[in-house]
Amino acid sequence: MKIAVLGSINLDIVASGAPLPRAGETVSGARLDQHPGGKGANQAYAARRLGADTEMYGRVGRDPFAEPALDLLKRGGTNLAHVLIDDEHPTGVALIAVSPEGENQITVCSGANAAVAAPQRIEAGALICQLEVPIETVADAFDAFDGFAVANLAPAAAVPDRLMARADLLVVNETEMEFYGESLFWSPALIAVTLGARGAELWRQGERIAAATPPQVEVVDTTGAGDVFVAALTVALMEQQSPQDALRFACAAGALATTRPGAQPAAPTRAEVEAMLGGHS
């Protein structure tokens, strides 16, 4: 099973352990860390950890942030032959604040991600895209792709009809679902809606076809849990798991990702997900 991911590559600068500030407020006492991130890179790394053969399409700058941003992808065995070095834009950076309860606030500096262009050809069984690269790039990539096309419609933004019509799987959270509204349901795609601690649902043309709740876990950091869910659901569906089993698998993977700090560092292995599922009815 080969999964291609076209999307963002960031270095996450994380301040954790202090309350999230309100507008105009300064808080202190946080701990500073940095991790590889970006929704695209997170999803590629998570899919690889879950057993897929993965390749990444994206851009980084020619700067000191590029190497640490790609570190886990490289060490994890993701094919980076299609990651380009951009001489005009810096590597993307995400500034993340994480509360003691694991909730987060994120500001993204797109950098080279804003210059990502669609390749002429992608050879893979599935293609996962998000909206942290130009939306027209995602639409163009889908137009040229003949496999299973997955769009994580995050962050929420207006997308062309041709993207919605081409997608085989659309993934949104509750806030994004409110943004897109009924436009989601005219698409022929399978639609996954994540509901945080309440789990997730799968819909097709206005009918709910599956629902699952995640195992109870002690939440440390929710950053990247949605990306793990997207990767896990894609892997499971590509394995021809039933919608219900695929959703259950994805919910378990997403829940596990909240038990560790960071986005990519928290991505679970296939064995960890299966062990959790074995103890969760």
Which is catalytic among the residues 86, 140, 221, 227? 227
Q: What is the largest CA-CA distance in the chain?
A: 51
Residue 57, amino acid: Y
Closest CA to 48 of 76, 80, 88: 76
Q: Which residues of 76-110 are buried (b: 16+ CB within 10 A; e: fewer)?
A: bebbbeebeebeebbbbbbebbbbeebebebebeb
User: At a CB cut-off of 8 Å and minimum separation 6, what does 138 contact?
Assistant: 6, 118, 129, 130, 131, 151, 159, 163
Tally Cβ neighbours within 10 Å of residue 50. Answer: 28
53 belongs to the catalytic site: no
Residue 7, amino acid: G
Chain Cα centroid distance, residue 136: 19
Q: State whether residue 28 is helix, strand or coil.
A: coil
Q: State whether residue 120 is helix, strand or coil.
A: coil
φ, ψ (nearest 5 deg) of residue 90: -80, 165
Please list the active-site residues.
227
